Amino acid sequence: SSSPAVLTCKAAVAWGPGEPLVIEEVQVSPPQPMEIRIKVVCTSLCRSDVSAWETQAIFPRIFGHEASGVVESVGPGVTEFSEGDHVLTLFTGECKTCRHCTSGKSNMCQVLGLERRGVMHSDQKTRFFIKGKPIYHYCAVSSFSEYTVVHSGCAVKVNLAVPLEKICLLSCGVAAGLGAAWNVADISDGSTVVIYGLGTVGLSVAQGAKVRGASQIIGVDINPEKGEIAKTFGITHFVNPKECNESIQQVINQITEGGADYAFECIGDTGMITTALQSCCQGWGLTVTLGVPKVHPELTAHYGTFLSGRTLKGSLFGGWKPKSDLPSLVDMYTKKEIQIDEYITHNISFEDINQAFSLMKEGKCLRCVIHL
């Protein structure tokens, strides 16, 4: 086929921090070597998009990183994808050749890892323009656009039969939570689990813990409305810190008779990491952090916490190697071994994308799926 040209389409552009997105006509460059251009079908809004939009300094910018779509064209050298393939985007890629990709121990790709400067990995430039002016990317995905360009290592092919409007959630939040439970913590049968923060991430940890046969899955959230919905994902006890007379760690220590086997921080509040550690049992208690703090990135903990045998573990994307491992999660969804649909509280048309931001800021949604 002839080589792809610049195309013009609609994109939701963020012009400044916290400013409502504006649907604009943007020019999208053809895919460069080893890149693909994708027609985005669905993208869900993740807490990280909202946090970055509120706090970061790189603008104008196209956010969005949890997405599914169809390959529109491929750049020079791409053999893995062809026009019409269905894909999920990856906010952290996998080159399959670097030290980390070949280690068997890490998903922290040194070539296509988390991109923070708003440009493409290969040439530090953008693929979006308005009247010749660059519009920056987010996580080298930028799915709040009808078309986007990503590195071929930052997308994974999926079966044509799976519904793109559901599996976009596997691009980030749901997969991160399941991976934290299965890969990072490796929760064992009959164990006790406490989860701080019952958004999509925390409730995906809950689902993962339930699949592994945890005996107690305690959910902690300051939003009282989370108690009811959390039960459908396996939460056995709901604790609202606002309604506790004792400290949260005391409450957890009572329920679990001496501390949970596993604690997960899914809020993005480093103070809660300290609390999570204190609610784990001595000897083998493991705290896993998933939240991305907006402020106060440093954490405090008494060294005795660790001297008595507790562990603190971090991970990105639940430890999954994104390209290698996501197809198996998609298969599990197809076989109804994991739930995804239940996290979708709202379906929103692209023109109404700002509603999704409002719903998330107000704590009124789990995932909003935006249909392009």
Q: Which residues bind Zn ion (CB under 5 A)?
A: 95, 98, 101, 109, 111
Helices 353-361/47-55 angle, 10° precision? 90
Q: What is each CA distance from 159 to 70, 156, 294, in whole angstroms?
A: 11, 10, 36
What the block records as the tokens of 289 is: 């952090």
Q: What is each CA distance from 274 to 35, 196, 219, 351, in whole angstroms?
A: 42, 11, 16, 41
Q: Which does 101 bind (CB under 5 to 8 A by kind): ligand APR, Zn ion, none?
A: Zn ion
Q: Closest distance between Zn ion and the C-beta of residue 111, in Å?
A: 5
- Whichever of 99 and 296 has its CB closer to Zn ion, that residue is 99
- Whichever of 173 and 319 has its CB closer to ligand APR, that residue is 173
Number of alpha carbons in the 13 Å side-chain half-sphere of residue 268:
13
Determine the Cα–Cα distance for residues 211 and 189; give it in Å rounded to an integer: 9
Nearest residue to ligand APR on Cβ basis: 199
What the block records as the tokens of 100 is: 């980390």
- Whichever of 3 and 245 has its CB closer to ligand APR, that residue is 245
- Whichever of 98 and 255 has its CB closer to ligand APR, that residue is 255
- Whichever of 81 and 196 has its CB closer to ligand APR, that residue is 196
Smallest CA-to-CA distance from 260 within 275, 279, 284, 273 is with 279
The answer for residues whose C-beta is within 8 angstroms of residue 131's C-beta and 6 or more apart is none
Q: Closest distance between Zn ion and the C-beta of residue 101, in Å?
A: 3
Smallest CA-to-CA distance from 25 within 150, 139, 128 is with 128
Q: Which does 197 bind (CB under 5 to 8 A by kind): Zn ion, ligand APR, none?
A: ligand APR
Q: Which does 187 bind (CB under 5 to 8 A by kind): Zn ion, ligand APR, none?
A: none
Q: Closest distance between ligand APR and the C-beta of residue 340, in Å?
A: 14
Q: Which does 109 bind (CB under 5 to 8 A by kind): ligand APR, Zn ion, none?
A: Zn ion
Q: Closest distance between ligand APR and the C-beta of residue 28, in Å?
A: 27
Q: Closest distance between ligand APR and the C-beta of residue 244, in Å?
A: 11
Which residues contribute to the site for ligand APR (CB under 6 A)?
Answer: 46-48, 51, 173, 196-202, 220-223, 226, 241, 266-269, 290-292, 363
Q: Which does 315 bind (CB under 5 to 8 A by kind): Zn ion, ligand APR, none?
A: none
Q: Closest distance between Zn ion and the C-beta of residue 105, in Å?
A: 13
Q: Is the dihedral of CA 369, 136, 3, 150 positive or negative?
A: negative
Helix and strand tally (H, E) in the chain? Answer: 10, 17
- Whichever of 26 and 101 has its CB closer to Zn ion, that residue is 101
Q: What is each CA distance from 103 to 12, 92, 154, 169, 250, in whole angstroms?
A: 38, 16, 19, 27, 40
Q: Which does 95 bind (CB under 5 to 8 A by kind): ligand APR, Zn ion, none?
A: Zn ion
Tell me which H or E stretch contains 278: helix 270-278
Q: Closest distance between ligand APR and the C-beta of residue 230, in Å?
A: 9
